[in-house]
Amino acid sequence: MSLLERIVVDPEVAHGRPRVRGTRMRVSDVLSLLAAGASEDEIIDDYPYLGADDIKACLEYAAAQADHAVLIAS
């Protein structure tokens, strides 16, 4: 299974924001924790329903969203 398969979007859950499959934990919540300096172990301790692959999936999702084509106007 690709890590990105762990990230789902459902308009009925978390207002349609990307979240970790099987939870209400939004990708943005995980990223905010990481940006604030929380370690992977701290996040898993605080949110035991998350695993290391879920955190990696959030990072992979964010990287994919940040990537974009560069258009050169001529």
**Residue 28's CATH number:** 1.10.10.10
Enclosing domain of residue 18: 3-66
Whole-number pLDDT of residue 68: 78
39 lies in a domain? yes
CB neighbours (10 Å) of residue 53? 13
Residue located via tokens 């695993």: 51
Task: Give the DSSP H or E segment for 63.
Answer: helix 52-66
- Interhelix angle 52-66/27-35, rounded to 10 degrees, is 90
Whole-number pLDDT of residue 1: 62
71 lies in a domain? no
Mean pLDDT on 33-45: 98
The Cα 50–Cα 57 span in angstroms is 11
44 lies in a domain? yes
Mean pLDDT on 27-46: 98
Domain count for the chain, please give it.
1
The Cα 1–Cα 20 span in angstroms is 14
Whole-number pLDDT of residue 52: 97
User: What would the pLDDT profile of 9-28 be if each residue is shown by its tens digit?
Assistant: 999 999 999 999 999 999 99
Q: Look up residue 56 and give its amino acid.
A: K
